[in-house]
Amino acid sequence: MDQEVPTNPSQKPCPICSKLFDSGLSGMRTKCDDCAEQIRREEAEKQRADKEELKRQLKAKHKREQRKRDRLLGAEAVKQRRELVRSERQQREDEIVRNTPVHAETHSESFYDPANTDNRRFLQDQSNQFLEQVSSEVNLSDVGSDFEDWVTIVNRLVVGFENKFVQRVYEPAGELISYTVFPDVVGAFLEHRVKFYRLDESSSFLEAYRKLLPILDERYGSNNDKHSDAVKRERERLQV
């Protein structure tokens, strides 16, 4: 393109298209309007493209992180699945052991085996706490010698059933709960002792007793003896 000849001092040829343009008094403008506009459009387009690229990169990064999280979650799910399988197998084995009769006295004495230290401490802590709680909630002025025994028996039964300290035994045949209690022969005594010591006045005792009665009834209700009858009467009385 032919260079035009400037007609005034502020006119210059555009460095891009060589067209003469007015660079202004201070010489601030460096290109013609058309080229300046073109460059602005290109800049704007470049910025838009840069923004799009950044968005794309962020999206890809997010996807990678998501996939990583999924993989980790997958590993966690696999771990949980394994743990569940292991725990179910253990439960089945425990169930078989619980249902394989052992000699009653032997099982009862195993409460004091070193191998059962954790279980023994757990059960003793539970019954000590329960006894303390119940004692604080009833009038103890005329408490007889077996008050503690029966409060402890109720706790041993509830905690035993809840934590599966249940063992089938022979001589005598039946179940031993928490190593210590035959649950099918307590109903009649409980009915009498609960009234005698007014244990209903203890909300802690009542809560445990209300949990226990349906369990006893469901397991031994068909025995049709004085104990199962007493359990049914107590369920009726307490509406559980």
Cα(189)–Cα(199) distance, rounded to whole angstroms?
13
Our CB check for Zn ion shows the closer of 17 and 58 to be: 17
Residue 38 CB, nearest approach to Zn ion (Å): 8
Residue 7 CB, nearest approach to Zn ion (Å): 17
Q: Would you say 168 and 99 are in contact if contact means Cβ atoms under 8 Å apart?
A: yes
Cα(217)–Cα(144) distance, rounded to whole angstroms?
27
Residue 65 CB, nearest approach to Zn ion (Å): 47
Our CB check for Zn ion shows the closer of 4 and 109 to be: 4
Residue 15 CB, nearest approach to Zn ion (Å): 8
Cα(13)–Cα(182) distance, rounded to whole angstroms?
111
Task: Please report, as ranges, the residues that interact with Zn ion according to CB under 5 A.
Answer: 14, 16-17, 32, 35
Alpha carbon of 232 to those of 175, 190, 219: distances in Å?
Answer: 20, 12, 12
Q: Cβ-count burial of 72 within 10 angstroms (0-12 exposed, 13-18 middle, 19+ buried)?
A: exposed
Residue with tokens 């063992």: 167
Our CB check for Zn ion shows the closer of 32 and 199 to be: 32
